[in-house]
């Protein structure tokens, strides 16, 4: 059991780190001068795919086919799900308010909890439910000023963002005994295809291309890799909850870097979300709330 506790605590640390890395995305996008959203999405996805492929090759000593074959159908399906979440998020922002999207997306821990219980037989403890409810309340406070019912299609896409991300997390959990990093390469292919449809042109300035590479090969690839590795040891209901740090810290980095001042409600709600994450992180010490303890404890590193 001590080995399980160590793996669980390490998984929590990896997922929290993923949220921290992902939270810098908005700040980096603000540094882009003129590239269109579709163009940014294409080059970000392309650089992420190249970076992850290089890591897969290094981890498997130059072998490429074997790790992709090992993930099987979970590779293209998982890649489609996370690319779908990203695409729905982008389109939702164009059709409704940021507040609506973040609020609707915050339902993903509930969705993941139900799916993890139904599909993976993951047990959900009272502490986890408390943390999820607290985090949802915090996100609601953060976005309260901007919540509105306008933009029905955008709201639907916001819900789909959370559903796709929850399904992606369950897919990662179902393949936790193998290296799931190749899923991110499939994600890049799906995302590049979607970006080709949206992008008016792939032409981009050197400055903007460098930022896109930093976004893709750095921020997105690193954060996604940390999330994939952490998902091996943390149940689906908890892993998405821990990444809500991205929602809290994203506005803070934008405030520091480009002067976008968050509202008082955003700061107050963010404090509530942080409390929820700390509650869940504290459970890592006890490792008392998890699913399939024996199975996860024997998962190879």
pLDDT of residue 287: 52
pLDDT of residue 143: 67
User: Angle, nearest 10°, between helix axes 245-258 and 2-22?
Assistant: 40
Residue 291 above 80 pLDDT? no
205 phi, psi to nearest 5 deg: -70, 160
Closest CA to 269 of 146, 120, 92, 165: 146
Other C-beta atoms lying within 10 Å of the C-beta of residue 279: 17
Rg over CA atoms, the chain: 18
Q: Measured between alpha carbons, how far is 67 from 181 in angstroms, rounded to an integer?
A: 9
Task: Say which range, 36-40, 146-150, 273-277, has the weakest mean pLDDT.
Answer: 146-150
Closest CA to 48 of 163, 167, 183, 175: 183
User: DSSP secondary-structure letter at 215?
Assistant: I
Residue 79 above 90 pLDDT? yes
Percent of the chain residues topping a pLDDT of 90 = 22
Contacts of 202 (CB under 8 A, 6+ apart): 39, 42, 43, 196
Task: Tokens for 292, please give them.
Answer: 């399939």
Residue 181 above 60 pLDDT? yes
pLDDT of residue 132: 77
Using DSSP, state whether 31 is helix, strand or coil: coil
The answer to whether the predicted template modeling score (pTM) of the entire model surpasses 0.95 is no
Average pLDDT score, the chain: 79
Say how many CA atoms lie within 13 Å of 44 toward its Cβ: 27
Closest CA to 300 of 180, 176, 182: 176
Contacts of 190 (CB under 8 A, 6+ apart): 79, 80, 83, 84
Q: Measured between alpha carbons, how far is 220 from 188 in angstroms, rounded to an integer?
A: 10
pLDDT of residue 96: 67
pLDDT of residue 162: 83
pLDDT of residue 292: 36
């Amino acid at each position: 059991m001590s080995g399980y506790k160590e793996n669980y605590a390490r998984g929590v640390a990896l997922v929290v780190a993923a949220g921290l890395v992902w939270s810098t995305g908005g700040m980096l996008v603000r540094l882009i001068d003129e590239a269109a959203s579709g163009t940014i999405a294409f080059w970000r996805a392309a650089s992420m795919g190249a970076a992850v492929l290089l890591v897969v090759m290094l981890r498997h000593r130059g072998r490429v086919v074997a790790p992709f074959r090992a993930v099987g159908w979970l590779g293209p399906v998982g890649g489609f799900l996370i690319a779908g979440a990203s695409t729905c998020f982008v389109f939702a922002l164009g059709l409704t308010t940021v507040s609506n999207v973040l609020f609707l997306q915050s339902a993903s821990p509930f969705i993941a909890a139900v799916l993890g219980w139904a599909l993976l037989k993951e047990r959900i403890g009272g502490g986890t439910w408390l943390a999820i409810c607290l985090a949802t309340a915090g996100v609601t406070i953060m976005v309260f000023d901007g919540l509105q019912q306008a933009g029905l299609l955008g709201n639907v896409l916001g819900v789909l963002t959370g559903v796709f991300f929850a399904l992606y997390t369950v897919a990662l959990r179902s393949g936790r005994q193998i290296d799931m990093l190749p899923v991110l390469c499939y994600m890049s292919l799906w995302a590049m295809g979607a970006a080709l449809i949206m992008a008016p042109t792939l032409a981009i300035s050197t400055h903007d291309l460098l930022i896109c590479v930093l976004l893709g090969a750095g921020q997105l690839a690193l954060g996604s890799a940390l999330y994939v590795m952490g998902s091996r040891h943390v149940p689906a209901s908890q892993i998405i909850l821990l990444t809500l740090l991205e929602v809290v810290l994203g506005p803070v980095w934008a405030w520091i870097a480009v002067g976008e001042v968050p509202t008082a409600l955003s700061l107050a709600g963010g404090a509530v979300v942080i409390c929820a994450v700390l509650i869940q992180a504290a459970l890592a010490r006890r490792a008392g709330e998890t699913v399939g303890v024996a199975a996860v404890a024997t998962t190879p590193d």
